[in-house]
Chain A
Amino acid sequence: MNLAWILLFLPLVVAAVNQLVLRKNPLVPWVSTGSALATLVISFLLLGKEGTTGFNWATIGDFSLQIGITLDSLSTGMMIVVTGIGTLVHVFSLGYMADDEAKSRYFTGLSLFMFSMTGIVLSSNFAMTFIFWELVGVSSYLLIGHWYQKDSAADAAKKAFITNRIGDFGFMVGILLVWSITGTLAFGEMAIPETVSQGMITAAILCIFCGAVGKSAQVPLHVWLPDAMEGPTPVSALIHAATMVAAGVYMLFRVQVSLGADVFDGTAGNVIAWIGGITSLMAALMATQQDDIKRVLAYSTLSQLGYMVMAVGLGGGEAGMFHLFTHAWFKALLFLGSGAVIHACHHEQDIWKMGGLLRKMPITGFTFLIGTAALIAVPFVTSGFYSKEEILAAAFGKNKFLFGIAVFVAFLTTFYMTRAFVVAFLGKPRDHGSEHAHEVGPLMFVPLVILAAMAIGSAWLTGPLSAMRPVHEHGHAEGHAIILGASIASLVLGLLAGFALYKGKDKNPVSIPLFRNRFYIDAIYDNYLVRYFQNVLAAIVHFFDELFINGLMVGGLSRAAATTGNLFRRVQSGSLQGYAFAFGLGVVLVIYFTVFH
């Protein structure tokens, strides 16, 4: 258990030492990277351990909020993802951010993030989850806004934070409701009394779910994630693909484990599943029309998160967690790969200005191909295939309509990834950036190779980590053949469509403004919700505040007094004591006479 505390607090100590002691010392990146590696080692040592411990953080009489650690197969498995990908991203960043003048701030931010994320994973209770939930939010804010002098980065950071806050509004209410209903915040002690109405339970679960909608960027709060790509690319890989955005799914699964899967029966589960399904579909459609390589991946992440959320809503939290596990590796691989490409092409992110990169950057290109294969779920050889099968099976058993959506999304996924790969990596270079691209150095390609191995192999891990994979006691789930067939068909069709449309093209042959412009959702939010609703509301409130409460009631009175009285012109500092004395004496006399005479 002591090890677990070190696992939690080491990155915080490192962040503090970096910020306060080392400052701009060139050691900072290495200290942060070393601590990430140390946490990975500790995570391996903790595999298979179980137990709960904690201390009182805020105590009032019998009541206390706790900082506590729960070790079980879920948390220790998830820690491997966080620290494993965390370490690789740190190493990759050593190369990627080598020339950044603020790399100390960057690595300090990464360490802060590692601390925050570890807190969510190890948390033994809802209060602590919420604490670290907010902390990952601020780490994400800092890292998205790393290049804060760019307006777009500063705006994206702000948007991410505020959008998450909207989700957290519901999350907080949900935590309060769950606390009221179960009388505890500890995950291990929760039970729903039978006398509580179904409506109250549904409300509580849906409010909790709001937190996941924000953090895991589900519709309608998905808008922050694509913008978050303004941050450095390794951050996108770690935070906005593999770990933090998956925290919503992880948290929902914790709730499922604590309260039982039956809380997702009925309305609450249906709403969750549908939100997930709709997110996966809309995001996949948007991904088909993006030209920025990072945005393609960002929408793809949204779409895959939608899959996971859908699985949780359908009561298949295990399938969701399994997909979270495999997705973390191959999506981190894809993001870091795109980072290597962007780095090599002198910060060019438009796929239509790339091309032929497989030949120029064979290691990056080939690992990217493996990541793509895992994402589009090439049967039997990639980890993504197995986890996607679990999700499709969860949907098939519960809701055929969502199953249909999921299969269609699988087709779209293959299609947009084929498009991105064909355009960026095959054909001829279209721009001098891609013309002169070189393979990246070992600090960057070694993490890619390791991640590629995990993209293939993470489904076969044995030992304690196999707990991340659902077990089916009765062999294959029902409808296995249909699921497999649908999956393979969507893959083949997607590949064909992608190649047919984009092979050898130098310009975008299809333009679908609706998808390209993200269903106009961002524009609607910016123009109507923010500009017209919020700002106009604020202005109106301000106006009435000035007019009635300030202007008419007391403003006029004080204005009159100020113009006629001229008291302050005469009150100089010299007569201050006299004035004070007179005032004090007056008060004494007033009280004395009113009370006693």
Chain B
Amino acid sequence: MLAILVLLPILAFVAILLGAPARLAALGASVANLALGLAAAFSWKQSCWSLSLPVLEKPALHLAFGFFSDGMNVIMVLLTVIVTVAAVLTGKAPEGREKLWYSSSLLISAGALGAFAATDLFFFYAFHELALIPTFLMIGILGRGERRVIAWKITIYLGLGSIVLLAGLVWLANLAGTFDIPTMVAAAKDGSLTIDAGTQKSIAALLIVGFGTLVSLFPFHSWAAPAYASAPAPVAMLHAGVLKKFGLYGLLRLAMPLVPAGMQAWLTPLLVLLLGNILWVGYVTVSQKRLDGMLGNSSVMHMGYIFLAIAALAAFPENDLAKPAAILLIFAHGVSIALLFGLSDRIERATGTLDLDELGGLAKSAPKLAFLFGIAAMASIGLPGLANFAGEVLVFLSAFRGFDGMSSLGPVQIACILSIWGVVISAVYMLRAYRNVFQGPAVKSTESAADIPFADRIPAALLTIALFAVGLYPNLLLQFLK
């Protein structure tokens, strides 16, 4: 079943190459995937959602997909299928480019699904790489602004990050003698796989830098905002919303169980870097003059909170709150940033600009767009009732898990307190942007701007419903995490 999820977008991609109508094929595959994904998620305990095909005999390499017993990747798969449908429905392919446009979305989605569903280290890595290629191409060919420079920048950055990551993964696989992730984790748990502290520290460094670069961990973040600003909307939605989360998922899936001592050893640097994401990049975001740049930087900033949960887990391995908090926030952020990028594309098509100084009063001519964007903005700054709040609060609580008030504050608690200042920074830039775009008197670009048409409201509504569903009742997702 999970294999079908991965296979469907690839089949649709092949169909497009063979001449099938691109939009229809992409839409069919992604909607089918959404249905399948929901069905799979809400029944994953009843059956064993896994498949394993031997690829190589020696060493044993299996093309294997499955839900892990901790339920983490159930949520990642859900996130992917939801955002994919929205991405396929968002934006408009340039004339004559429909094939490239829709097949990119399909391949990114397939790659992400493959990476999240893989239980085999090799395919976990390979599928992510597969998804990066269309991302680079779309920016390089159909991007805005200095698209070539930006495409190269993201290629170099993510390529270097991937190589560092690869080194860490290869090292791990060598020590474990297997590619099978559940086997590795079980071995680490029961003590049959022991990695000495020094090696753990080295591997953890590779994984933090490697995965970290892919998630725009400070100071490896500067590819992200320009790339999202330049990328066509579906690519920005899929990358910022889904694919980027691969790095966080990887840290939780591999680094935490396999090299916990190594992660602990890097605790302080990790805390400093994540504060770089939240405070440093937070203020970079405040100074943005364009909506797309602001959204791109805000997405970098919000990664800091998820790293905070990872740091809380590294500092206190019995922390039961950290992993669910991180996953919940990954989901919430993925959906909300996809919604924001999708709507900002709509704003640009309606007004011809994303420059904050050239916009104003858009709520008058486009009230529905204003309403949806308002929800997305509020989600992004952590308003209760929308998914991000539950994730953020659980992250903060997880950082204080194990602290009993008897001693003075530890480094994780101090970092958490500083991180909470981020909720003020987020409110500053998000409300300022909303104020500049939608409120105040109408200006030339917005006077006669069209409201969001019905076709574009469908993907926005899908994402909005997801934000509300999880935000109003987080147990909807938390039930998967055991």
Interface residues of A (CB under 8 A from B): 56-63, 65, 127, 130-132, 134-135, 138, 145, 148-151, 154-155, 157-158, 161-162, 165-166, 168-169, 172-173, 176-177, 179-181, 183, 193, 195-197, 200, 204, 534-535, 537-539, 541-542, 545, 549-550, 553-555, 557-559, 561-562, 565, 567-568, 571-573, 576-577, 579-580, 583-584, 587-588, 590-591, 594-596
* A58 x B474 contact (CB < 8 A): yes
User: With a CB–CB cut-off of 8 A, which chain A residues contact B439?
Assistant: 145, 148-149, 154, 157
Q: At the interface, yes or no: B284 with Cβ under 8 Å from chain A?
A: yes
Q: Given A180-B405, A591-B166 in contact, is the A154-B435 Cβ separation under 8 Å?
A: yes
Q: At the interface, yes or no: B397 with Cβ under 8 Å from chain A?
A: yes
* A200 x B405 contact (CB < 8 A): yes
Proximity string of chain B (126-163) to chain A, C-beta cutoff 8 Å, 1 when within and 0 when not? 10011001100100110000111111110111000000
* B149 x A559 contact (CB < 8 A): yes
Instruction: State which of B147, B148, B170 has its C-beta within 8 Å of the C-beta of A594.
Output: B170
Question: In terms of DSSP, what is the predominant structure of the interface of chain A?
Answer: helix
* B126 x A587 contact (CB < 8 A): yes
* A59 x B478 contact (CB < 8 A): yes
- The smallest beta-carbon distance between A535 and chain B, in angstroms, is 7
**Complex Cα distance A130/B393, Å?**
10
* B153 x A554 contact (CB < 8 A): yes
Q: Given A60-B478, A134-B383 in contact, is the A545-B406 Cβ separation under 8 Å?
A: no
**Complex Cα distance A169/B416, Å?**
11
- The smallest beta-carbon distance between A105 and chain B, in angstroms, is 9
Instruction: State which of B133, B321, B406 has its C-beta within 8 Å of the C-beta of A63.
Output: B321
User: With a CB–CB cut-off of 8 A, which chain A residues contact B413?
Assistant: 176
Q: At the interface, yes or no: B38 with Cβ under 8 Å from chain A?
A: no
* B405 x A59 contact (CB < 8 A): no
Instruction: State which of B170, B287, B427 has its C-beta within 8 Å of the C-beta of A541.
Output: B287
- The smallest beta-carbon distance between A174 and chain B, in angstroms, is 10
User: With a CB–CB cut-off of 8 A, which chain A residues contact B156?
Assistant: 554, 557-558, 561
Of the listed stretches B184-192, B219-227, B332-340, B343-351, chain A binds B219-227
Residue of A nearest to B289 (CB): A542
Proximity string of chain B (41-62) to chain A, C-beta cutoff 8 Å, 1 when within and 0 when not? 0000000000000000001000
User: With a CB–CB cut-off of 8 A, which chain B residues contact A59?
Assistant: 475, 478-479
User: With a CB–CB cut-off of 8 A, which chain A residues contact B272?
Assistant: none
User: With a CB–CB cut-off of 8 A, which chain A residues contact B223?
Assistant: 554
**Complex Cα distance A573/B13, Å?**
13
- Of B17, B152, B286, most buried by chain A (CB within 10 Å of CB) is B152
Q: At the interface, yes or no: B214 with Cβ under 8 Å from chain A?
A: no
**Complex Cα distance A534/B85, Å?**
39
- The smallest beta-carbon distance between B296 and chain A, in angstroms, is 12
Q: At the interface, yes or no: B324 with Cβ under 8 Å from chain A?
A: yes
- The smallest beta-carbon distance between B432 and chain A, in angstroms, is 7
User: With a CB–CB cut-off of 8 A, which chain B residues contact A550?
Assistant: 222
Can you name 19 A-B pairs with beta carbons within 8 Å?
A57-B473, A130-B393, A145-B439, A154-B440, A177-B400, A545-B284, A549-B222, A553-B222, A558-B155, A559-B149, A568-B148, A571-B141, A572-B141, A573-B99, A576-B103, A587-B126, A588-B126, A591-B122, A591-B170
Of the listed stretches B72-80, B235-243, B252-260, B418-426, chain A binds B418-426
User: With a CB–CB cut-off of 8 A, which chain A residues contact B384?
Assistant: 130-132, 134-135
* B435 x A155 contact (CB < 8 A): yes
* A151 x B441 contact (CB < 8 A): yes
* A587 x B129 contact (CB < 8 A): yes
* B432 x A158 contact (CB < 8 A): yes
User: With a CB–CB cut-off of 8 A, which chain A residues contact B222?
Assistant: 545, 549-550, 553-555
- Of A193, A545, A587, most buried by chain B (CB within 10 Å of CB) is A545
- The smallest beta-carbon distance between B464 and chain A, in angstroms, is 11
